[in-house]
Structure 1
Amino acid sequence: MSRVTIALVALAGILAGALGYATIIQPAPQTDSVAVQAMIDDAITAYDAQRSATMAAAPAQEVATLDADIINPMIESFLMSDPKILQRVSVALDSTLRAEERSQATAAIATMQEAIFNDPGQVVVGNPDGDVTLVEFFDYNCGYCRSALPDLATLLAEDPNLRVIFKEFPILSNESIDAARIAVLVGDSDVDYWSFHEALFTSRGKVDKDVALAAAADLGLSPVSLELDMGTDSVSRTIQTSYEIAKALNITGTPTYIIGNEVIPGAIGVDELRQRIANMRECGETQCDS
């Protein structure tokens, strides 16, 4: 069998194996020419490795030269005969990468379990003994976090068994850091944190220290005391813990949610959050096999 034939067979085997992972039904991005060339190169490399082993056993055996000008048009013709192959390969690749990301997230979350779910400095709203926990990393000056506020309000109103943890993750500005420091102190006080949280996200303009102090004052807290305490080590440690978790889990933006063993970046909407919560109750994972 020639190298050309073997390379084609090897590529066909790679493509056929990939089809077994094609479980996502959404249209995937079309595979570009670089990806196609990479598949060709992988097939040739696999052949060369096998051929080298054969040559080591029989060094006197004559080896044919593989001409890219011949093999490339043949593979292109094979792929063009069924262009949907590229889509299926792309879907399979996406599915594989997502599975790898979930596996990595599971391992990372396991190492940070206590800091994520049981940190004594974190703010918990909803049912503190709820059967499902949703964690949100947010910045008070994040527009996407602001737009996602109604999603959490809806979930808290309709789900009496939902536990929500807020993680201060001020990454957008110094004003965000100041507001987060005041928020940590409010979270340690005997007041309705959700009212404070909602007030900051529904305020006009940039959220800074003054906005946070005003919202805290509306709840009966002393702005003077809060401003004096906002730079204490305990406040800094609480925010630093969020940074450490984010680094371990490769969280780089807000809002980012954690449910179960999944890290969910972005404001994905109330329906998606609701489905993941339902899946947690059904199978213990955010994505059930069924």
Structure 2
Amino acid sequence: MKKLILATALTFALAGHALADAETFTDAQKAQIGQVAADYLRAHPEILIEMSQKLQAQAQNKQMASAAGAALENKDALLNDPTSPVVHPKGDVAVIQFFDYQCIYCAKVAPTVEQFISNNPDVRFIYKEWPIFGSRWPASIQAAKVGLSLYKTGGAEVYHRYHAALYATGHNEGKLLDADIRSAAVKAGITSTPKAQVEAMGEVLEANNALAKRLGIQGTPAFFIMPVSGATADNVSVIPGATSLDALQAAVEKARGGVKKGG
């Protein structure tokens, strides 16, 4: 009988049902089931942790599915915006990264991104400057504006060198300095940038922010992986947060495997 009560209690607990709704039990039985369940969960807290992790994973999967659908609706803005820096523009699959130079997780994943770009010359890599910490640390916005200005002036190679030089400083979480930005620009090969051109990049940042909101992403970094042509719900991937080289590579292979011929 005790095993039956325990099984019933756990069934209700794990399913998230209120015991009060179980009309087939008397008040005394409900109380006994509730007590058994409470005692068991106190003795086995790992169950609560597992339940929490499953719920979190389900919520994240739902969010990513929604973001993937939004990516299809906004694929032109993701793939073809001329203001977004692009490395390997002829790639058949695109990886689009939203990032902030002051984001510590963006900094942690930066070496992985560099290795991925080096290993995949046939993958288009698109940078989306999204300085979400700009209201707290203005250098985020300035770094993004300068980067976009350098791309407009010098192209992908100049921008890529600047991008790498900024992350090489190791300065994030409010530590990035204007001196770091100027030094990175010099290392990229540009000694001066027109102030008006830099400030004009604010419009690009506003457009990127609007796009991020349409996509429903909540923070940086965020990666979207999709075929340049023939994108569908089955071959688009969204990866929130710092990720691994293997995960990026798997998403690229998914994009290639799911492309419909003639799409």
Same fold (TM over 0.5): yes
Give, in whole Å, the separation in 1 of the partners of 2:254 and 2:222. Answer: 19
Q: Out of 218, 222, 241, which is 2:207 matched to?
A: 241
Q: What are the equivalent positions in structure 2 for 1:27-42 lying under 5 Å apart? A: 36=13, 39-41=16-18
C-alpha distance 244-220 of structure 1, shift in aligned 2 (>3 A): same
Cα offset, 1:216, TM superposition = 2.3
Distance 1:198 1:146 in 2: 10
| Equivalent pairs, count | 233
2:130 to 157, 169, 176: 169
Q: CA offset at residue 37 of structure 1?
A: 8.3
1:189-204 to 2 correspondences below 5 Å: 189-191=153-155, 192=157, 193-203=159-169
Partner amino acid, structure 1, of 2:225: I
- Distance in 2 separating the partners of 1:65 and 1:266: 46
TM-aligned CA distance change 1:182 to 1:92, over 3 Å: closer
Where 2:176 maps in the other structure, the secondary structure is coil
Q: Please give the secondary structure, in 2, of the residue aligned with 1:231.
A: helix
Contact 1:181 1:236 in 2 (8 A): yes
Q: 2:176 aligns with which of 207, 225, 229?
A: 207
User: Contact (CA 8 Å) 1:40, 1:72: kept in 2 or not?
Assistant: no
3-state SS in 1 of match to 2:17: helix
Structure with the greater alpha carbon radius of gyration: 1
SS at match of 1:119: coil
Distance 2:60 2:109 in 1: 24
User: For the residues of structure 2 that align with 1:174 and 1:277, how far apart are their CA atoms?
Assistant: 34
* Unaligned residue ranges in structure 2 (runs of 5+): 227-235
* 8 Å CA contact 2:70, 2:214 repeated in 1: yes
Give per-residue Cα distances to partners, 1:74-117, cap 9 Å, x unaligned.
4775896xx89989876765664454323312232223222222
- Report deviation, 1:183: 0.6
Q: Which residue of 1 aligns with 2:75?
A: 113
Cross-structure match for 1:101:
63
In structure 1, runs of 5+ residues without a counterpart are 16-34, 49-63, 285-290
CA distance in 1, matches of 2:211, 2:240: 14
1:122 is matched with 84
| CA displacement at 1:228 relative to structure 2 | 3.6
Among 185, 210, 215, the alignment partner of 1:216 is 185
Determine if the alignment matches structure 1 residue 70 to structure 2 residue 38.
no
- Cα distance, 1:146–1:65 mapped onto 2, change above 3 Å: closer
Match of 2:243 in 1: 268
Q: Which has the higher contact order (CA 8 A, sep 6+)?
A: 2
For residue 141 of structure 1, report the CA deviation from its aligned partner.
1.9
Equivalent residues in 2 for 1:136-155, closer than 5 Å: 136-155=97-116
Distance 2:92 2:194 in 1: 34
Decide whether the 8 Å contact of 2:90 with 2:124 is kept in 1.
yes
Report if aligned partners of 1:178, 1:208 keep a CA contact under 8 Å in 2: no
Among 172, 197, 204, the residue aligned to 1:229: 197
State TM-score, norm by structure 1.
0.66
Number of the residue aligned with 1:287 = none
